[in-house]
Amino acid sequence: MSIGHTLLGLLESGPRHGYDLKRAFDEKFGHDRPLHYGQVYSTMSRLLKNGLVEVEGVEPGEGPERKRYAITEAGITDVRRWLATPEKPEPYLQSTLYTKVVLALLTNRNAAEILDTQRSEHLRMMRILTDRKRKGDLADQLICDHALFHLEADLRWLELTAARLDKLAAEVAR
């Protein structure tokens, strides 16, 4: 996720302080990974330097001064361009799990056991996500669905690989 673009997008609804941006980010996108304050302020500093935001006002506080950031026209253009650019699909061609299976076969270890252990871990995570989805709001449901669909694809791969394990072992042994 592009934190800079996300913060810019949040600023399109109106100027905000760094604290307000962090809170909005965490509420909408950071359920599992809240932003650190330092990350917000370093990102805002970079956006300011690049002309994508400007400081609309500074207010004194008990601690450091509170800057209120506003998005610039260049920032709006940048967000528009980012939103219109499709994300590169991740083909997972360098799978750690595939590497483990092949290395197990090369070293005469039990590759089927590795697949079984991984299947159990995937199913455990799917139960957790399904429970979270059931209890969550629409945003949480959609995020969990995305993760669940990826885990389901992994499970299909695990089953297919288990079914082809003897063939893979023969090829690896060459």
Tell me what the mean pLDDT of segment 73-78 comes to: 97
What is residue 93's predicted lDDT score, i.e. its pLDDT?
A: 65
pLDDT in tens, 27-67: 888 777 889 999 999 999 999 999 999 999 988 777 677 89
Dmax (CA) for the chain in angstroms is: 72
Cα–Cα distance, 129 to 167 (Å, whole number): 34
Q: Take residue 71 and report the two structure tokens written for it.
A: 């998005």
Following DSSP, what letter does each residue of the chain receive, concatenated?
A: --HHHHHHHHHTTS-EEHHHHHHHHHHHT-SSSPPPHHHHHHHHHHHHHTTSEEEEEEE--SSSPEEEEEE-HHHHHHHHHHHHSPPPP----S-HHHHHHHHHHHTT--HHHHHHHHHHHHHHHHHHHHHHHHHS-HHHHHHHHHHHHHHHHHHHHHHHHHHTHHHHHHHHH-
Residue 105: closest CA among 164, 174, 172: 172
What is residue 94's predicted lDDT score, i.e. its pLDDT?
A: 66
* Poorest-pLDDT segment among 3-17, 18-32, 47-61, 80-94: 80-94
Q: Take residue 15 and report the two structure tokens written for it.
A: 């100027």
| pTM (whole model) above 0.75 | no
Domains of the chain (ranges, CATH numbers): 3-84 (1.10.10.10), 96-173 (no CATH)
What is residue 155's predicted lDDT score, i.e. its pLDDT?
A: 95
What is residue 1's predicted lDDT score, i.e. its pLDDT?
A: 63
pLDDT in tens, 120-169: 999 999 999 999 999 999 999 999 999 999 999 999 999 999 999 999 99
* Poorest-pLDDT segment among 23-32, 75-84, 105-114: 23-32
pLDDT over threshold 90, residue 92: no
